[in-house]
Structures are given as C-alpha cells and as structure tokens.
Structure 1
C-alpha cells in the first residue's frame, strides 16, 4: 500500500470539499493518492478553527466519539447528529473525511446517514493509525496523540493541494508501508508532528531540516522559516526546534518513534516532501511564499525580500 498524506484527494473551494481522482506518478502502474494537505477551505475556515474549535472541542469530544468509538454506533448517537448539523454539511463532511482517513485502514470505511437530511456519507480509510478506536473502543492516549499528529500534518496555511509522504507506526506498532517509488520521489526531509489536542496538551511540530534565508515552503505549518514558539503561520501549532534534539529515530532512520517535550513523551508522525517543494529565491519564479524586495538598494535574495524573482516593491 502506498501511503501519501493520509487523506483521499480533496479540492476545497467556495462550495466545500469534494473528492478528486487519484493521480499516478510517472512509471507507476498503480495510483498514488494525491491529497489536499490543507485543513482550511476558501470559505474562511482556518487551521485554528478546524483543529481546536471545529474538530476537537466541538467535534470529537462533545459528539461522543471519544467514548463511543469511531464506529457505526458512535456516529449513530444523538450527540453526533447534533454536532454534524451544527455547521454547514460540507464542513462536517470534510472534518470526518480527515478523521476517518487517519483512523481507518485503506479498504475500510465509515458510513453515516444524517437524520436531518437523509443524505448518506461514506468516508474511506487510508492510514489505519487507530485500529482500536476505529473498531468502536474508547480512544486511548496513544491514539489521541496519533490523531493529533495526523491532522496537524495535513494543515496548510495556503490551502493548496500538495502531496506528502507520511511515515511512522500505528497505535499497535504496525509500520506504515512505503514503496521504493514513494521513498525515491519524496526524499526531502520535512518535519514531525505530535501532541495531544484532546487532553489539552497542545500540538507541536519540529523541523527535520533547516531552511536557508533563500528557501521557503508552502508547507509552512511544518517546515517553518521561523524559530521556536507559537506558529505565526498555522496557530495553534507550536514549533519546538529541530527534531533531532527532541526525537528518537527508528533503526532504519526513516522516521521518529518518539518525541519528548515539556517532560511528556509523544508518538509522532514524520513527513517527507519532494525536493521541488522547497522553493529558492533566484530560481526565476516568484512563489506564493516569496515577497518583493522593499529596499531596492539591498539586492536581497532572501525569500521574504526576493528581488530576483519578485522584483522591487512599489
């Protein structure tokens, strides 16, 4: 199984999110699932609103899925129906697509019929990070951490569609499979995501490589140009420095098995991206992460004052 991003392909526009067909990598005989790694849509939904307000506080906890399990029984409760109807159906549908894709294994799905409208929704699984919770059991602390890391790994400040390779293990220790083709294409180190939003501990990201002053990435929620502290790009994600300073690698050195922050050990998810997803000032293209140079006297090649690609500011 090829594991990319952890959610089916989505396009988020003014009318909400809808599924896109899988894309194929050149030379591959099977599809690799592309995905919008954004948890925001063009209708103004922010990463903060979806993770802390829409998903965790008002979603998973109050709708009963934490104690009743992410199963048919869990979504059949009155509290889940109340939550699902409390926002636009496209929003609730999008939230559940991400949750189920992270929690359920590929080939399985969760179906829900909204009592208020009679519309049936089917959300496919992909990563299978939380097999116990997906089978209807109450969510465990490790599963809480993996769901937090998985959702954080899919936040994108710019709301653009990107492919990302997710590495790590499920709550029962099963490694996420990675094909040789995937490992070759997605060779650039990016970040690790961890935390526990469900118990209020927070959500964190560490850089798995450093960006130079010329470099930037649309994956600003993980591979950030800023230093430590609360994210200016994707709150409430908090950047906590380099992964190698707080996380332990597995024996294959392909992903992190644990990260320690504030004395608490978390089970993280590691991400890899394509080299082309690191933008460099001077490559002749003014990327959405780059800015014009406010001072023409400097001839700057910084990503946030990139005269060579974006020109001088008016």
Structure 2
C-alpha cells in the first residue's frame, strides 16, 4: 500500500519522554486528499510529526490510544473522555483529532468513515469526516480493539507514518497483512527500503520501536525521513553530533541485524524482527510494517 506523508502534527500516546521539537511542524485541518496511483494503489496525506509525542502535549481529557481501543470505533461509542478530547476547541483538541484521523485511516476501509462535530472558541461549528483507508481492523466499528495482534498492526501503521519534519514524502508501506500487499508497479516505483516499525501504543505499557535498513539511510535522510535511523542533531552541551529518536519510537539499530526479510519479488519487507533486541535475542514479533521510498 502506498502513502504520501504530508505536514501534520499528532499526539500518539502519553509516554514520559523529553524530545526536541520538530522544525517547521504545522497543524492544519485540511482533509486528506486521495489520488489514484500505480495499479490501484492509493496515495494519502499522512505525515505524523514527532514533536507532540511527549507527556506534556496531552491533558487528562486528551484522547489516548488505550481509551480509544476500549470501545467500538464509532462516534456513538466513544467514552465521555474521548468525546471531550476530540471536541476540545483548544490545542489539545487539535492533537486529539489528528490522532483520531490517522487511527481511522489505518484501521478502517475506504468505504468506512468517522464523522463528528465540534465547536471552536468563537462558537463556530466544525464538521469532521475522517476516511478509512487500509482496513487493518475494519471490524473495530462493531466492538473494542481488544486483540493485541491488531493493536500492534495499527500501532506499526501510526509509527511508520511519523515524520520528524512534517514534510511531504511518498511512502510504500508493506507487511504480511493483506492490506499491506504491494503490486509489481509499486515495488518498482518505491525500491529503497527505509526501515521497519512495530510496537503497541494501546497497551497499559505502550511502546514503539524502529530499525533502519543500512543501505537506505542516506537516501531516507535526503528526503527528510529520520524516524527509522534517528534524527541527527547537535548536542548543545558538547557541540557533537547525536542521534535522537522520534518521540517515543525507540531506535533498535540495523534491521539487517535484527530482522528477517522476504524476497524482493514478494515485497522485500521485514516479516520478523526482534521485539526488544536490547533485552532478548530470541523473542521476535511478526507484526512489523516496512517503509519503502522512491528512488
């Protein structure tokens, strides 16, 4: 499945981390634009920027993945706290709506959507309709997202669509799930493997991890895609170069070291990675999404 990252800012989860704010990250309320691409693949606006993935970007009433997963993904099923979060007219509400927009995009099919309204500080009513796209958990509209297997797939989808700078970058996202299958034309147009993403932001102890494909690092950074290999920055204390993670997305190193991949003619994605290589060299996860870039 093919995506287009575009300038957005979103709060994914409340994890007590301190990160450097992204440069040039803007919030906007423009709807995603859908464009037909190679052999029926879709391109969708989807940049999630990491500067809001910190604890102090959220409030007690802000939308959180854990709360959202406990009920069906429909307007009438939201908990009072989730409804208050997406209807908040302030900055926290903007972040909560952005999170919901991308959760819907990852979880629901193109023929499904999520509509609601909220009122801004001037008394104007805004009607929002967020379209589904991938359909990884389209049945979420009927009940809670309680299965950790699907929680991890949607978490990987959100992580893979995060962009440090909030700039527009074309992505091809691939994995073992049917919605993440790729066609030959898509694989030819997006041959550079960037890295892989996995985790679970819906658990009581949320986490996200990423690894990078060594051969794709320089190309990814030239396109301002930093979250697989880490963002290069200058330590103000020492003046030396440091590598920073994108918010809560912990850096796991080289995918070629910790992951297994399928042949290029079948997509070339990483189908299995060490879940936490810092702790175990034997425990793998197969719920992994690999991102590919245009040449």
Normalised to the residue count of structure 2, the TM-score between the two structures is: 0.72
2-structure distance, mates of 1:134, 1:231: 39
Say whether residues 1:254 and 2:256 are aligned partners: no
Q: Any residues of structure 2 matched to 1:72-87 within 5 Å, and which?
A: 72-75=75-78, 77-86=79-88, 87=90
Change over 3 Å in CA distance of 1:223–1:234 after alignment to 2: same
2-structure distance, mates of 1:180, 1:236: 33
Tell which structure's C-alpha radius of gyration is larger.
1
Partner of 1:65: 68
User: Of 229, 248, 252, which aligns to 1:236?
Assistant: 248
Change over 3 Å in CA distance of 1:243–1:55 after alignment to 2: farther
Partner of 1:192: helix, strand, or coil? Answer: strand
Q: Residues 99-155 of structure 1, C-alpha deviation per residue, up to 9 Å, x if partnerless? A: 100111222212223488754321101111223434323331112211221111111
Partner of 2:214: helix, strand, or coil? Answer: coil
Kindly indicate whether the alpha-carbon contact (under 8 Å) linking 1:109 and 1:123 is maintained by their aligned counterparts in 2. yes
1-structure distance, mates of 2:130, 2:220: 37
The more displaced of 185-194 and 117-126 is 117-126
2-structure distance, mates of 1:118, 1:98: 22
Say whether residues 1:37 and 2:47 are aligned partners: yes
Partner of 2:17: none
Partner of 1:272: 292
Say whether residues 1:220 and 2:226 are aligned partners: yes
The more displaced of 129-138 and 118-127 is 129-138
Ranked by relative contact order (alpha carbons within 8 Å, sequence separation 6 or more), the top structure is 2
1-structure distance, mates of 2:217, 2:126: 49
Partner of 1:158: 165
**Residue 244 of structure 1: CA displacement?**
2.7
Partner of 2:111: 107
Q: Residues 190-210 of structure 1, C-alpha deviation per residue, up to 9 Å, x if partnerless? A: 100011233225211111234
**Residue 61 of structure 1: CA displacement?**
4.7
Q: Residues 214-262 of structure 1, C-alpha deviation per residue, up to 9 Å, x if partnerless? A: 9833111114477xxx961512211111213222334636222232223
**Where in structure 2 are there 5+ consecutive unaligned residues?**
10-24, 233-241
Kindly indicate whether the alpha-carbon contact (under 8 Å) linking 2:7 and 2:49 is maintained by their aligned counterparts in 1. no
Change over 3 Å in CA distance of 1:65–1:160 after alignment to 2: same
Change over 3 Å in CA distance of 1:22–1:98 after alignment to 2: same
User: Of 93, 96, 101, which aligns to 2:97?
Assistant: 93
Kindly indicate whether the alpha-carbon contact (under 8 Å) linking 1:56 and 1:197 is maintained by their aligned counterparts in 2. no
Normalised to the residue count of structure 1, the TM-score between the two structures is: 0.68
Kindly indicate whether the alpha-carbon contact (under 8 Å) linking 2:194 and 2:216 is maintained by their aligned counterparts in 1. no
Partner of 2:105: helix, strand, or coil? Answer: helix
Partner of 1:286: none
Say whether residues 1:187 and 2:191 are aligned partners: yes
Q: Residues 4-44 of structure 1, C-alpha deviation per residue, up to 9 Å, x if partnerless? A: 2388x66677562312534566xx5868424242335xxxx
The more displaced of 156-165 and 115-124 is 115-124
Kindly indicate whether the alpha-carbon contact (under 8 Å) linking 1:256 and 1:269 is maintained by their aligned counterparts in 2. yes
Partner of 1:221: helix, strand, or coil? Answer: coil
Kindly indicate whether the alpha-carbon contact (under 8 Å) linking 2:8 and 2:26 is maintained by their aligned counterparts in 1. no
Partner of 2:238: none
Q: Residues 24-70 of structure 1, C-alpha deviation per residue, up to 9 Å, x if partnerless? A: 66xx5868424242335xxxxx14239x95499942356x4221122
